[in-house]
Amino acid sequence: MVAVINIESVRVFGCHGLSDEERSRPQPFEVDLKVTLAGDEGVWSDEIIDTVDYDSIVSIAVDTVENTQCKLIEHLAGLIGRIIMDEYRDKVESISVTVRKLHPPMIYHVGSVGVCVEQR
């Protein structure tokens, strides 16, 4: 049995982008997390110690978006994944992090631009 934690549409403001202007003012981002657990202990035990607390991984994602500055959202997604993997090394088999910039500064009308980074 495989347990996967899915967290969708975490909305947070951060200063990320290629231009100095993008990195100088907060703009809205959305983050999705898909965490595949290394074991299924939590499925059977019903104890938080046997799984990954999703509040904690959301907190890591929010803190990373709010308190770092990246030129590329690919880098931001990878950074979020690496921090979560390092924090929960023994409990997480893989993670998929999707970061979307909700109002990208483009000449075209685009609802969002995003990237998904998967790590094992």
70-98 average pLDDT score: 96
pLDDT surpassing 90 at residue 1:
no
- Give the architecture-level CATH label for domain 4-119: 2-Layer Sandwich (3.30)
- pLDDT, tens digit (0-9, with 9 covering 90-100), for 2-59: 899 999 999 999 999 999 988 999 999 999 999 999 988 888 888 888 889 999 999 9
Domain-by-domain residue ranges, the chain?
4-119
Strand extents, DSSP E, 15-112: 27-37, 92-101
Say yes or no to pLDDT of 65 above 90: yes
How confident is the prediction for the chain on average, in pLDDT? Answer: 94
8 Å CB contact between 75 and 64: no
Kindly report the pTM of this predicted structure.
Answer: 0.93
